[in-house]
Structure 1
Amino acid sequence: MLNVTTAAQIILDLIQPLDPHQDGESIDLNHARGRILAVPVISNLDFPHWDNSAMDGYAVRYQDVQGCDEQHPAILEIIETIPAGSQPQKTLEAGNAARIFTGAMMPIGADTVVMQEVCQATGDRVYVKSAPQLGQFVRKQAAYYQAGNTLLSPGIMINPAELAVLAAAQCTQVQVYRRPQVAIFSTGDELVEPDQSLQPGQLVDSNRYALLAGLQQLGVEVEVLGIVPDQPEALRKTMEKAVTSADMVISSGGVSVGDYDYVAEVMTALGGKIQMEAVAIKPGKPLTVAEFVGKLGNSSRSCLYFGLPGNPVSALVTFWRFVQPAIKKLSGLSGGWNPNFVKAISMSVLRSNGQRESYLWGNLYLSGGKYEFRLAPGGDSSGNLINLAGTNGLAMIPVGTREVAVGEDVLVLMLSWI
């Protein structure tokens, strides 16, 4: 049985990220939010495009105002007004000033902006009553970015800030990675759809909906293959279809050691190389991971298969801890794959048997600048899906630790829903 850290590293090492050339596509800027940039973006524009004012005031020559003060103001002739979006028409000579507004282009000859609060304008004259520093309130051309350099690096997610940069660079078509293809299904004779009438002994297939939501949140394309009964031939057909069409396959159930648990057996029969069948984690011990390599469908490629436990909480915990990082790496993200753990003060007594790395769910919140964690009420059974609702963190209890007392530090895996 692998420890959690080793299992997580094995999984990440198995992932081959999408290829920027074979797996890239050009999309319109309007549809780029949440996508992963596949190639560097290089602009032929400087940022700022030209020297411009960072303040409403007056563009001046520093040498004309360097010694002024309220008792001895510099008196300058206003030769033009420059609003944002217009090009200056005149060159500043000695004793000249130009009325200028935030973002407006600096006129030739000016090297400094004096803010309007320290000036008094009368007719075509302005009295400057406070000496500025040289270059004050001037944004110099190319101070933020010089044309020809890399503007945005590949492997980043395009979020609002990146969209703004791309738009400013007039990059209306963006080369991104295609969305990873993930196939999911659930196994078990006891499972039924949510709209079916429950018979004694049956359970609604809630795992598929939870996993589908988690995958959609990660921005992947999902093929839902439904419920597969505990029959080797039915499982073989579904699994074969999944591994030949998807980059990754996720099933839940059928990975324990029961008489009707066939997932590992069918994986092997189809040529999958099993990398792990158990991890020292609670909940989620019976995690099975296999790699399929070679001729899959119409191409030679690899597919990673995750056989998650059937218990609802176990399925989600293993998804968050192991599958989510793998998808992030697969998608082309250059880093930040691993789960986000933060140190928090436990506001509840947290207990474990100490034999496996244990995850207890609850609420993580900031209080006085520090994170605090409070255990969800109602017990921590891996079958108790109900009290998982509304939680946003998983407190991690290391192997060998049986109790975390109130007030002690604990590492908490943050669950992000946005």
Structure 2
Amino acid sequence: MYLLPVTERTPIPYEEALARIVAHVPPPKPVEVPLAEAAGRVFLDTLVADFSLPPFRRAGADGFALRSRDVEKASPDRPVRLRIVAELAAGRTYDAPLGAGEAVRLMTGTAFPEGADTLLRLEDGEVEGDTLVVRRPLPPGRDVFEAGEDIRQGEVLLRPGDFLTPGAISVLATFGRTRVRVGRRPRIGILVTGDELLAPDEPLVLGKIRESNSFMLGAQVAMLGMGAHVYGVVPDERELLYARVRSALEEVDVLITTGGVAVGDYDLIPETFRRVGGEILFDRLAFRPGQLTTVAHVDGRMLFGLSGNPGAAFVGFYIFVRPYVLAYMGLSPERALHPRVPAVLEEAIPGRRRLPVYARGCYRWEGGRIVARTLGPDSSSYLSTLVRANALLYLPAGEDLPAGTEVETVLLDVAPH
């Protein structure tokens, strides 16, 4: 049986806990997906430009292509008149070299005629029938994009490990990729423990609460662009829990559990992780919330035993589960972390913390800097602070933090701020 008193469970700091998790991330497993389904995945190929972009000289605005030397003496009093020899929509070309005294009307993105070297914007032109009136000189190259000005042939555009943003999808489409090799997403399972839990549609009774963790964690997984198999609520029964965890591990790469990580008679997760063959990576943290979070590794699969308190489970997902999932897909561990930035405290926070705390908070931009505040009491069992939390504020142990103090802040991608 794996039941250690809290005093025998060695607390470790966040950086060490994360390093132990990252050390067990397997190499990414490549899969090929249609380009339309590749956003939010991790690229496992190299994309090299096989042509320059733009592939031809093109107009940077709607207007008239002309030769700058034809209008070098143009002035309001002595305008130059050019003959409009063609009008081009995007995708059309003017095949003859542009002659002296000629102009071509064209749209943004249209191939620039040979011989033309500048553009008079449509709003600046005066047209009289088929004649363009120009009242000022124009420098060569104005509103003209040269071939290869954006991307040069042979340039490396995407590398293995790059996250596929909407912009990256655009580049892949431009260079003819309709199928993309990416890292496979892990199969994720969620299992909730506790005799005290009711379904959301069950009436409340004394001593019971409605189960919300599986819905919250499922939503957090969904925000990564994937789904999770929810195994429901498992009572605090040793053999039943063991059977459910063992069965789930036959179907998933990542199993997230909530509850049962403390040291009471019914806190069975550490024991269960050991019984299914798991190597316990850590079972106590030197910070809050989720001090008794337990993480184990078994046969290439990761088990995250999060606290049953919603606030602690919320934080545990973002600081442990999310980085592992993204690294599993092929993202480097450093890039898998949420951005951490200094933020200025809007309020004073008294130093009554026995351990460092990742406090749920809210940030905003103000005067060119990030200002943040906590969201009321930081009890890990409180739900109210989760509604508006879009940041985690790292508060060191024991220090009074006056308003205006800079604290390390983890920016979450949960809601507009």
Following superposition of structure 1 onto structure 2, how do residues 110-259 of structure 1 map, counting pairs within 5 Å?
110-259=116-265
**Which secondary structure state, in structure 2, belongs to the residue aligned with residue 89 of structure 1?**
coil
What is the distance in 1 between the residues matched to 2:126 and 2:386? 65
What is the distance in 1 between the residues matched to 2:363 and 2:155? 41
Alpha-carbon deviation of 1:354? 4.2
Deviations 1:190-210 (A, max 9, x none): 223222334432232211111
Q: Is the 8 A contact 1:180 1:221 kept in 2?
A: no
More strand by share: 1
Structure 2 equivalent of residue 415 of structure 1:
412
Amino acid in the other structure paired with 1:233 = E
Pair 1:351–1:325, CA change in 2 (3 A): farther
Structure 1 equivalent of residue 373 of structure 2:
374
Alpha-carbon deviation of 1:72? 4.6
Pair 1:78–1:198, CA change in 2 (3 A): closer
Q: Is the 8 A contact 1:25 1:176 kept in 2?
A: yes
Pairing 1:12–2:22 present: yes
What is the distance in 1 between the residues matched to 2:120 and 2:306? 65
**Which secondary structure state, in structure 1, belongs to the residue aligned with residue 249 of structure 2?**
helix
What is the distance in 2 between the residues matched to 1:186 and 1:218? 20
Pairing 1:277–2:283 present: yes
Q: Is the 8 A contact 2:29 2:329 kept in 1?
A: no
What is the distance in 2 between the residues matched to 1:260 and 1:328? 33
What is the distance in 1 between the residues matched to 2:212 and 2:348? 29
Amino acid in the other structure paired with 2:21 = I
Deviations 1:248-307 (A, max 9, x none): 1111111111122222222222221111111111111001111112xxxxxxxx111111
Alpha-carbon deviation of 1:18? 2.0
Alpha-carbon deviation of 1:42? 4.3
What is the distance in 1 between the residues matched to 2:294 and 2:37? 36
Structure 1 equivalent of residue 392 of structure 2:
394
- Aligned sequence identity (%): 32
Aligned length: 404
**Which secondary structure state, in structure 2, belongs to the residue aligned with residue 38 of structure 1?**
coil
**Which secondary structure state, in structure 2, belongs to the residue aligned with residue 213 of structure 1?**
helix
What is the distance in 2 between the residues matched to 1:121 and 1:175? 52
Deviations 1:367-404 (A, max 9, x none): 23322223223x221111233322222221124x4321
Alpha-carbon deviation of 1:162? 3.0
Give the TM-score normalised by the residue count of structure 1: 0.88
Q: Is the 8 A contact 1:84 1:103 kept in 2?
A: yes
Structure 1 runs not aligned, ≥5 long:
294-301
Alpha-carbon deviation of 1:331? 2.1
Pairing 1:362–2:372 present: no
**Which secondary structure state, in structure 2, belongs to the residue aligned with residue 79 of structure 1?**
strand
Pairing 1:310–2:328 present: no
Q: 2:52 aligns with which of 42, 46, 50?
A: 46
Give the TM-score normalised by the residue count of structure 2: 0.88
Q: Is the 8 A contact 1:36 1:332 kept in 2?
A: yes
